């Protein structure tokens, strides 16, 4: 798989060595290694992400919802054969959800307080990847605790135990951001400066066709091509703000393809895409566009 990527020969050899070493050492953490394969219209997206990670950088994947950021993170985990822990950000995310928590355990008949490592601690101590999804959905006051764990120090003081934790040399962070999404806040510069930023656009054209044929249950090429054309018309509408980004989500297109094998395609699109939109005008816009491709009489 590495042959298809145009990265510096020294880095390619380094990645190959890391891949084989980690594959042999995964052990009980093997289930945390990604299995998805990101299909990119522009391979430089993956190539630049690989290069940044090999150079010890953390990366921020920036793009619309459903553009494949999580799949890209899984692909990187697979290429490095590196277990990946995940944090799904929301306004409810607290310190415990990132670092871990204290709990009571019984040992030799007596109760004692024990700390259970959370995703950040596991990744730092074991030299794994940490994936932070929708990082700008977290409350701004929650994120500063990540600063030390994201810069050159790779260090954090656990407020629950006062343990000073230093990240393993191979520990990396991959974060994802949906800009302009409802409920998000802008990342502060101090946090943003700790990442190399990689734009992840919607995939289109032949790349999307290949993905739908590979990932969905639909194998009728003519219908797949209609979905590709439908998606290519949806994407600029989402980019211009005329419809929500959910409308152009690749996940939604795949779901519609799957359902469309067993129920009428327009109904599949209603369930998978249109029903997710809250605005009636947006629903009508997407419905009319879908009917121009899939009207069934």
pLDDT at 111: 81
Q: Where are the beta strands (DSSP E) in the chain?
A: 59-62, 84-88, 100-107, 110-117, 129-133, 155-157, 164-166, 172-177, 196-199
Quick: pLDDT tens for 228-238. Answer: 999 999 999 98
Give, as one character, the DSSP assignment of residue 170: T
Read off the pTM: 0.87
DSSP state of 216: S
* CA–CA separation, 103 and 238 (whole Å): 45
Burial of 26 (0-12, 13-18, 19+ CB in 10 A): middle
Give me the CATH topology for the region 2-91+123-199: Rossmann fold (3.40.50)
pLDDT digits (tens, 9 = 90+) for 160-204: 999 999 999 999 999 999 865 555 567 778 888 999 999 999 888
* CB-CB contact of 38 with 250 (8 Å): no
In degrees rounded to 5, what are phi and psi of residue 162? 65, 10
- φ/ψ of 102, rounded to 5, equals -85, 145
Q: Give the model's pLDDT for residue 274.
A: 96
């Amino acid at each position: 798989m590495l042959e298809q990527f145009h990265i510096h020969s020294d880095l390619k050899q380094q990645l190959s060595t890391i891949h084989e070493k980690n594959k042999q050492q995964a052990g009980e953490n093997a289930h945390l290694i990604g299995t998805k394969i990101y299909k990119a219209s522009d391979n430089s997206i993956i190539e630049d992400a690989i290069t940044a990670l090999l150079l010890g950088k953390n990366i921020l994947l920036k793009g619309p919802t459903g553009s494949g950021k999580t799949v890209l993170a899984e692909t990187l985990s697979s290429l490095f054969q590196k277990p990946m822990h995940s944090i799904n950000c929301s306004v409810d995310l607290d310190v415990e959800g990132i670092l871990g928590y204290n709990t009571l355990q019984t040992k030799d008949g007596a109760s004692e307080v024990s700390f259970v490592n959370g995703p950040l601690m596991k990744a730092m101590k074991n030299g794994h990847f940490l994936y932070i999804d929708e990082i700008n959905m977290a409350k701004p006051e929650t994120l500063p605790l990540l600063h030390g764990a994201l810069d050159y120090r790779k260090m954090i003081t656990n407020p629950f135990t006062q343990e000073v934790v230093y990240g393993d040399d191979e520990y990396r962070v991959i974060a994802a951001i949906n800009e302009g999404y409802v409920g998000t806040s802008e990342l502060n510069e101090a946090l943003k400066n700790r990442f190399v930023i990689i734009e992840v656009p919607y995939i289109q054209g032949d790349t999307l066709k290949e993905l739908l044929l590979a990932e969905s249950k639909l194998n009728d090429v003519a219908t797949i091509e209609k979905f590709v054309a439908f998606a290519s018309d949806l994407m600029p509408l989402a980019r211009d703000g005329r419809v929500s980004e959910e409308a152009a989500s690749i996940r939604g297109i795949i779901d519609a393809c799957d359902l469309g094998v067993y129920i009428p395609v327009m109904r599949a699109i209603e369930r998978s895409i249109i029903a997710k939109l809250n605005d009636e005008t947006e629903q009508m816009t997407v419905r009319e566009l879908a009917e121009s491709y899939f009207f069934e009489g």
